[in-house]
A and B are shown apart, each in its own frame.
Chain A
Amino acid sequence: MQSHQGKCGYLRLDGYSSDGLEQVSDSGIDKSFLKDQFPELINLSDSHHVSRSQQGDLLTLIELPQFQAPQHAGLTGIDSRVKNQLETLQLHPDRHLHFGRDPELPNKDTLEFKKLESFSLSLNTSVWDPPSLNTFWFELVNGAYGDVYRAKGLMNLPDGRSIFFNWVVSQESSQFLPLQEISDPNGRPRSLSELVVQGKHLDCLRIQSTIDLCLLNDAVLEMHQMPLRDRQKEAIPST
């Protein structure tokens, strides 16, 4: 997307739970992160933007959560429910490739699951104590709250930054990508913040209770923000 000269779009299709494989509802994490990186990004999930998908120079990232390889190769392997979603959006695929099966795509990070639990938590307006977040994430992805295969989140820090946390069990380490937009140090942030975890034997109550220990209350948040506001004032030249 970064090297594409024309417009970029994003479309998230719904995945489907089946046979102990629990889908998580769309958290909006990916869309928020991409929108931050590409402010002109067209959200094709929004129906009135669909016609723009027909534009020749539009590069669209389509995200479809899927746990297992399709039973058939090629276009016939597309789940009929996914086909219906695409038809509603007037999208007509000419090829269908699958990670881990088709050599055109990298095999890395391709996992198949027989059982998968999902946990998601809205963290909107929440702000983390940074070293506590570091410890929590370390414990989470290393199995302190169950076997985690996939975890991602948008986390707010007291200095106004928001960080995209991304973990896949097949990777050696997590990705920590700061968003470009920084909130004013004035009360609680309004940007989307969410955590999504997928794995096995997840202890959701303990995840939640540990998070509660890591989040800043209003008084502590104000202690962080006050010097930032003072610095901003000092940076503005007096007239």
Chain B
Amino acid sequence: MNHAIISCLHANLPAVEAVLNDIDKQGIDTITCLGDLVGYGPQPNEVVELIRKRGIATCQGCWDEDIIDGLNACECSYPSQLAERRGHLAHQWTDDQLTDENKSFLASLPTSLRRDRLLFVHGSPNSQHEYLLPDMDAFAALERVETAGADILFCGHTHQPYVRELRDGSIRVRLQNAEHGNDQGEELTLPMRKIVNAGSVGEPRHGSTNATYVIHNDATDEVEIKEVAYDVGRTCQAIVEAGLPKVFAWRLSHGFEFAEQAEDASHVCER
């Protein structure tokens, strides 16, 4: 059966509506959302309410977490002072706009969702703030999937959709036993694992302005990355009318993210 995975909606209502419409047209009933419903974009309440109304299973993203817990740390996740200040401005604006009811909904979201051998997270099983980039070290990538006990890990956060197959994996464990003066080793051969990144609905970063999501067939394990065009101009107009920085609209209309993205695949928030 096909099911759809969406991520990183970022309060971009026209993009969310277009993607859900595309999923509906294909007759897919099961949708999982990997978080970041809000942040940077101009329609945080509308997007949260649409997800709630549709009853879409959702895990919490880093923006959803920060709106609830406050920007109490994680300056390390900003790649520049400019990005940090723009991020703080967007955070404050979003915090002011969101209703208490919608904040409660974001606070209630789990950090991960599991269906059998499938695991759904925002960033990585370790943290909503960690980036699993497509070219990260294979051992580290395999470790994230294996320790989470999943065959397929669905994530977002990077805004770049990709499918990465981790074949021929093995982990060698070696215990040095001083008492007996010998080494005990064991090698675990792992079956293929897969990381599927759903990209971003509301803030794409793959070279075009199209929203992305993925469809997974749980019988065949086939994954399809889907691109959906939407009315970017409508979102840009809403950004300007909301009083958010005009540069957010310019960046979005050119296929760039609202602010910037950290490039360090090994980044883990220490808080």
A, B co-complexed: yes
Q: Which residues of A contact B (CB under 8 A)?
A: 129, 131-132, 134-136, 139, 142-144, 203, 206, 210, 213-214, 216, 220
Bits for B244-260, please: 1 = Cβ < 8 Å to A, else 0: 00110011001000001
Q: Is the CB of A136 within 8 A of B82?
A: yes
Closest to B80 in A: A131
Known A135-B260, A206-B246: A144·B83 in contact at CB below 8 Å: no
Choose among B83, B246, B250, B254 the residue that contacts A135 (Cβ–Cβ < 8 A): B83
For B85, what are the chain A residues with a Cβ–Cβ distance below 8 Å? 213
**Highest count of chain A CB atoms <10 Å: which of B79, B85, B247:** B247
Q: 10 A-B residue contacts at CB 8 Å?
A: A129-B82, A132-B81, A135-B83, A139-B247, A143-B250, A144-B251, A206-B246, A206-B247, A210-B82, A213-B81
**Highest count of chain A CB atoms <10 Å: which of B80, B250, B251, B254:** B80
Cα-based distance from A220 to B85 in the complex (angstroms): 14
Q: Does B129 contact A (CB under 8 A)?
A: no
Cα-based distance from A132 to B79 in the complex (angstroms): 8
Q: Does B122 contact A (CB under 8 A)?
A: no
Choose among B82, B251, B260 the residue that contacts A213 (Cβ–Cβ < 8 A): B82
B interface size (C-beta, 8 A): 13
A205 to chain B, nearest CB (A): 11
Q: Is the CB of A213 within 8 A of B86?
A: yes
6 new A-B pairs (CB below 8 Å) besides A129-B82, A210-B247? A131-B82, A132-B81, A135-B82, A136-B82, A144-B251, A213-B85
A195 to chain B, nearest CB (A): 15
Cα-based distance from A99 to B254 in the complex (angstroms): 34
